Structure 1
Amino acid sequence: MIKQFLRAKSLDEALAFKAKYGDDAVYMAGGARLNAAPTQNKREVAISLSELDLKGCNKTTKGWEMGALTTLQTIVDHPELPDGLRKAAALVYSRNVRNQCTLGGEIAAGLPACLIVPTLLAMDARVELAEGFGNVEVQSVADYQGGLITKIIVPAEVYACFNREVSKSAADLPIVNASFAVHRNPEGREFYGIAVSGSSFPAAMIPAEASVSAFLTSDISRQDLEKAVSGAVKCDSDFRGSADYKREVSGVLVADMVEAYRVQAGNVKGQ
């Protein structure tokens, strides 16, 4: 339960507050995850970041750089951001929640049933931390509860991204949420990223790039691709579904996205 609310005027002041109160303090952005199950805060000191200049989306030579306090609704409404990222942010059903949730907060919360983190993983996104650790993979920062995220960078090489999820209702947490991203370097060579999360297991990259490449060149069947993905997914059983069910669904969702990309790429080549 929060008993003390500190409003930081600068990054240095936010870091000083955290150094002073240590594990008794937590950084607070929109507060959506700190005040609701299953990530309800148990620490007594909240360090508000609301007055820091950590909002906005800018395109640079590195790619898209987004401030940690950029809300999910801002991402949804931004017409120039990668379409897959906008659609992933829109998976959070309530517009009110999207207006409260921040991109940095979603990463820091480390929710198993997350909606946008798998997309950031598949896109090979990096984050910057105020502590000066440099660029860190999104997945590792999701487990780093003490760091102050300042910026998220989606690399310029992201060419396409797809999202699929299975849930009981639009407002429910996903049983399985999967993302597939295509990276294309200046020489035209493609690389692929696949990430899956579920209601009881954290977002993780799936090592199935070779199978994706083989499917896109028709060297293996769709069934082979599904099996490769299902075999690489690590998940747990819970009240929403068994581990076997989640693994099978993960394979189907990823195969759907890869097949959609193959159709899209074929249409582009045919124009």
Structure 2
Amino acid sequence: MIKQFLRPESLDEALALKTKYGDDAVYMAGGARLNASPTRTEHEIVINLSGIDLEGCEKTARGWEIGALTTLQTVVDHVALPEGLREAAALVYSRNVRNQCTLGGEIAAALPACLIVPALLAMDARVELADGNVMSVAKYQKQCEGLITKVIVPAEVYACFNQNVSKSAADLPIVNASFAIQRDKDGNESYGIAVSGSSIPFARIPAEDSILAFLTNDISRQQLEERIAETVSCETDFRGSADYKREVSGVLVASMVEEYRLQANKVQASKVQAGKVKGQ
């Protein structure tokens, strides 16, 4: 039960309050997770961050830098942001919830069924903390320490795909998967996959070799599905068996990779056709 609700007016004041109260206090942004069941906080002291300017989206040399208190609805509405990130934020079914949830808060909550974190993991996004330290979202999720001030989506992100399976739009995802492509200035590509779900913890799956093999037609889609399924760790619950969730994970990821291959082939075909027309 919350007994003290503190409202710092600056980042320094918020950090000082956390130092003062230590583990007895918790930071709160929109309160969508900490102030609602089943994730309601047991801390008695809350340090509310709403009075601190940690919002906004800016394109820099590092990529897209997004303030930790930027709401998911703002991400959805910001047309210049990577489309895959906007799509992932939109997977949260309720606009009211999207207006309350913040990007930094979703990362800090570390919920296994979060809908936007897999996209951030797949894109190899980073967080900047109040002390200036910068680390990957994956590393932060392992320690969940420090106040997030920014989320940084790398400039090399070329595309991101998202798919999930759930019993309804309002239900927790049985499996939620994201596939991202990074492309450097020389055109070299790298790939990231992340999967989460009702009993599947956040995970960035090491499957780049399998993806490349599929994109170059060295393995079949069925083989890609099987390889992805082998890397996913999950448990049986009332939503489905562990075997079912692994199989679904493989199908979702393979579907996204295949979609990207089809798009890439179309782009290449268009370039070839344009070159023929130009040469005539």
What interval of TM-score do these two structures reach, taking the shorter chain for normalisation?
Answer: over 0.9
TM-score after normalising by structure 2: 0.95
Write the deviation string for residues 3-31 of structure 1: whole angstroms up to 9, x where unpaired: 10111111111111001111110001000
1:146 deviates by 3.7
Alpha carbons 1:68, 1:150 under 8 Å: kept: yes
1:239 deviates by 1.0
Q: Which runs of 5+ in 2 are unaligned?
A: 271-280
Write the deviation string for residues 161-217 of structure 1: whole angstroms up to 9, x where unpaired: 000000000111100000000000111010000000010121101111000000000
Match of 2:236 in 1: 237
1-side partners of 2:138 and 2:238: how far apart? Answer: 25
Aligned CA RMSD, in angstroms, stands at 0.9
1:270 deviates by 1.6
Match of 2:82 in 1: 82
Match of 1:126 in 2: 126
1-side partners of 2:252 and 2:43: how far apart? Answer: 38
Match of 1:107 in 2: 107
Match of 1:175 in 2: 174
2-side partners of 1:254 and 1:201: how far apart? Answer: 15
Structure 1 letter corresponding to 2:262: V
1:136 deviates by 1.1
Match of 1:117 in 2: 117
Alpha carbons 2:175, 2:200 under 8 Å: kept: no
Alpha carbons 2:179, 2:193 under 8 Å: kept: yes
2-side partners of 1:145 and 1:62: how far apart? Answer: 23
Alpha carbons 1:108, 1:144 under 8 Å: kept: no
Aligned pairs for 1:100-249 (under 5 A) are 100-132=100-132, 134-249=133-248
1:267 deviates by 1.1
The reply to whether residue 3 of structure 1 matches residue 3 of structure 2 is yes
The reply to whether residue 16 of structure 1 matches residue 16 of structure 2 is yes
What is the SS of the residue equivalent to 1:30?
A: coil
1-side partners of 2:224 and 2:8: how far apart? Answer: 49
2-side partners of 1:146 and 1:38: how far apart? Answer: 22
The reply to whether residue 264 of structure 1 matches residue 263 of structure 2 is yes
2-side partners of 1:146 and 1:19: how far apart? Answer: 13
1:262 deviates by 0.4
TM-score after normalising by structure 1: 0.98
Single out whichever of 199-208 and 94-103 deviates more from structure 2: 199-208
From the CA coordinates, give the structure whose radius of gyration is larger. 2
Write the deviation string for residues 214-238 of structure 1: whole angstroms up to 9, x where unpaired: 0000000001100110000011111
What is the SS of the residue equivalent to 2:200?
A: coil
1:143 deviates by 3.8
Match of 1:45 in 2: 45
2-side partners of 1:6 and 1:199: how far apart? Answer: 33
What is the SS of the residue equivalent to 2:161?
A: strand
Structure 1 letter corresponding to 2:189: E
Structure 1 letter corresponding to 2:166: S
What is the SS of the residue equivalent to 2:13?
A: helix
What is the SS of the residue equivalent to 2:74?
A: helix
1:49 deviates by 0.6
